[in-house]
Amino acid sequence: MANTVRITAADGSPVEFVDTIIGSGGMKDVYFSPDKSYVVAFFRDKQDFNAKDRLQNITGIYRERIFNLAGGEYWKDLYCWPTKIVEHNGKLGLVCPTYQKHFFFSTGSINSDFLGIKGKEKEGKWFASAKNQNRFLAPEERGDWFKYFQICIGISRAVRRMHAAGLAHSDLSYKNVLLDPTSGKASIIDIDGLVVPGKFPPDVLGTPDFIAPEVIATKHLKMGDPARHLPKITTDRHALAVMVYMYLLYRHPLRGRKIHDTDPAKDEDLSMGAGALFVEHPTDASNRVRVNDLHPSQLPQGDPAKIPYSVCGPYLKKLFDRAFMDGLHNPAARPTADEFEQALLKTVDLMQPCQNPNCWHKWFVFDNTTKPKCPFCGTEYKGQLPVLNLYSSPKAGVFKPDDYRVMVYHNQYLYPWHVNKYVAPNEKLSAEQKKPVGYFVFHQNKWLLINQRLNDLEDKTDGITIPVGQAVELTDNKQILLSKENGGRLIIVQLVKN
């Protein structure tokens, strides 16, 4: 029977842990609390004064800035943030919340979990490649494409909040993010290595596949050399772009056919560093993916010729262009986490459920054509497809396009952020703003918007007010006013028929 050890944290609070190691990472050994509500992780190596100071700030002032302000509860699901510092038998340790239940595999791998991962953490690496998805994971663990957009929104939002606090993760990668594709949730872990510019330098360069090219290209220089690049907010931006690309397309944006050196180590440094080149670069085809080099389990997702990055929609294509062309070797040009969050949110409103019940992705992004089809299974959309073009009002009686569209599907909800451009779907939403204000249905061969909570809903084309509980039909070129408030929106319906 293992002993329960009782110690006192640096803040004076009691901490208990069961003296049995439940897991070991690269730097720490981990123990459960008796009720398994938290873990205690001890560093195996002695930590110096700077390391201890960093941890005191991470569990203290930086944690308070994020969790103790208005809306702080929201972030508890998106981070596994250390709460306390402890010392025991000369070793420094951290207290962290236990990972939430949905971040553990319930089924695991195929063939009765032949890999033995049932009950283990859903480390992001399992979901970032077509090979893992197609060859190893049980179907019930994979989720659908819509859920991966939700995951990417959560990761982008968490990174945006860290960066707003002046913090960089320094090792943002699929090893330090937990995912649950069955619910669309994500959580960033290993927070204890946060970089604070000018105060706490990085402990690590990062994880291969996610280290920014300038960090790899200058890693041979001595620490302190002004020409050497170390992890910071702009390198996090590169890692975030790679992660979003991989979770939506299940391949790496820089790993193609190009050979830079016959020495594998040098070739790796060049292909991810000074010679890095986007595999889907429109004018330089030298790093295109060679399909014959791929394992059958990597297809079709691993072949950009079959599934190009443009399937992610126009908003994300622009950001991938900036991340992997303009900003690949120019950190200042990289998209921010906030830009990724906004682009992902707008893309979610362009998504349609695939009409093929056997399509693994189950969703696709509308490609603005008159004959939309799922790029993954090739199924063409059949029937009428309402497209809502959103306009907002900078002043009374004037409406301007918002570069924002909503694709309609049966039982889809309309929310306050669709109704008013000044309502953003983020952590600041009130409980009331999270509630739908209307929904769409296909009924008796007609598309209808059912008004649930909109006081100003008006069919402008026919000059009719639509009371709560009533419906307005979505017909081609119909103009519908959603709100008369400042920032209120007008929608113009476009019917795509196929």
> For residue 358, is it within any domain?
no
Q: Could you tell me the two tokens for 405? A: 């569209």
Establish if 293 belongs to a structural domain: yes
Structure tokens at 223: 């620490």
The mean pLDDT of 307-330, rounded to a whole number, is 98
Say if CB 302 and CB 242 are below 8 A apart. Answer: no
* pLDDT above 90 for 148: yes
* Longest Cα–Cα distance in the chain: 78
Q: Which of 98, 118, 136 is the last residue of a domain?
A: 98
Q: How many percent of the chain have pLDDT more than 90?
A: 90
Question: What number of other Cβ atoms are within 10 A of residue 47's Cβ?
Answer: 16
Q: Which of 29, 27, 36 is nearest to 4 (CA)?
A: 36
In a domain, 128, yes or no: yes
Is position 482 within any domain? yes
Same domain, 333 and 239: yes
Kindly state the average pLDDT of the residues 232-236.
96
Residues 237 and 341 grouped into a single domain: yes
What confidence category does residue 220 fall into, taking pLDDT thresholds of 50, 70 and 90? very high
pLDDT band at 394 (very low <50, low <70, confident <90, very high): confident
Amino acid at 186: A
pLDDT value, residue 50: 86
Residue 133 to residue 250: CA distance in whole angstroms: 8
Q: Would 366 be classed as within a structural domain?
A: no
Q: Could you tell me if residue 446 is inside a domain?
A: yes
**How much is the average pLDDT of 222-243?**
95
Q: What is the mean pLDDT of residues 408-422?
A: 97
Distance (Å, rounded) from C-alpha 172 to C-alpha 16? 30
Give Cα separations from 492 to 115, 200, 410, 477 (angstroms): 52, 52, 18, 6
Q: What angle do CA 320, 322, 323 make, to 5 degrees?
A: 60
One domain for residues 338 and 433: no
Tell me, what's the pLDDT at 1?
Answer: 65
pLDDT > 70 fraction of the chain, expressed in percent and rounded? 100
Domain boundary (98, 132, 149) is at 98
Of 98, 119, 145, the one marking the end of a domain is 98
Each residue's pLDDT tens digit, 462-474? 999 999 999 999 9
Clarify whether residues 80 and 125 are in a common domain: no
Q: What is the Cα–Cα distance from 375 to 353, expressed in whole angstroms?
A: 12
Q: Give the residue-averaged pLDDT of 133-156.
A: 97
Strand, coil or helix: what is 131? helix
Q: Which of 350, 287, 292 is nearest to 324 (CA)?
A: 287
Sign of the torsion angle spanned by Cα atoms 228, 188, 74, 403: positive
Q: What is the pLDDT of residues 40-97, one digit of tens each?
A: 999 999 998 888 999 999 999 999 999 988 778 899 999 999 999 999 999 999 999 9
What SS3 class is residue 2? Answer: coil
Q: Positive or negative CA dihedral for 263, 266, 268, 271?
A: negative
Pair 225, 311 in one domain: yes
Residue 207 pLDDT greater than 70, yes or no: yes
At 73 the three-state DSSP class reads helix
Domain CATH for 12 = 3.30.200.20
Q: CB atoms < 10 A from the CB of 13, how many?
A: 11
Q: What CATH number corresponds to the domain at position 269?
A: 1.10.510.10
Please indicate, yes or no, whether residues 65 and 160 belong to a single structural domain of this protein.
no
Question: How far, in Å, are 3, 329, 334, 476 from residue 320 at the CA level?
Answer: 52, 14, 9, 33
CA-derived radius of gyration, the chain: 25
Residue 215 main-chain phi, psi, to 5 deg: -70, -45
**Are 12 and 151 in a shared domain?**
no
Count of residues in the chain: 498
The continuous run of DSSP H or E covering 202 comes out as none
Instruction: Print the domain residue range for 336.
Output: 104-349
Q: What pLDDT score was predicted for residue 336?
A: 98
Instruction: Answer whether residue 256 is part of any domain.
Output: yes
Number of domains observed in the structure of the chain: 3
How far is Cα 459 from Cα 475, in angstroms, rounded to an integer?
A: 11
Nearby residues of 65 by Cβ (< 8 Å), 6 or more positions away:
165
Which tokens in the block code for residue 27?
Answer: 């730097």
Distance CA 305, CA 79 (A): 36
Q: Write phi, then psi, for 101 (nearest 5 degrees).
A: -55, -35
Q: What is the DSSP letter of 195?
A: B
Position 36 scores a pLDDT of: 95
How wide is the angle at C-alpha 489 spanned by C-alphas 483 and 493, nearest 5°?
115
What's the rounded Cα separation, in Å, for the pair 170 and 307?
A: 31
CA dist 185 to 77, 102, 152, 181, 182, Å? 8, 9, 9, 7, 8
HEC assignment per residue over 224-254: CCCCCCCCCHHHHHHHHHHHHHHHHHCCCCC
77 and 20 part of one domain: yes
Encoded amino acid at 104, one letter: F
Distance of CA 391 to the CA centre of its chain: 27
pTM of the model: 0.96
Q: Do 333 and 402 belong together in one domain?
A: no
pLDDT, residue 260, reads 97
Residue-level pLDDT at 384: 92
Q: What is the DSSP string of 347-396?
A: HHTTEEE-S-TT-SS-EEE--S-SS-B-TTT-PBP-SEEEEEEEEEEEET
Give dist(CA 379, CA 373) in Å, integer: 5
Residue 37: band (very low, low, confident or very high) from pLDDT cuts 50, 70, 90: very high
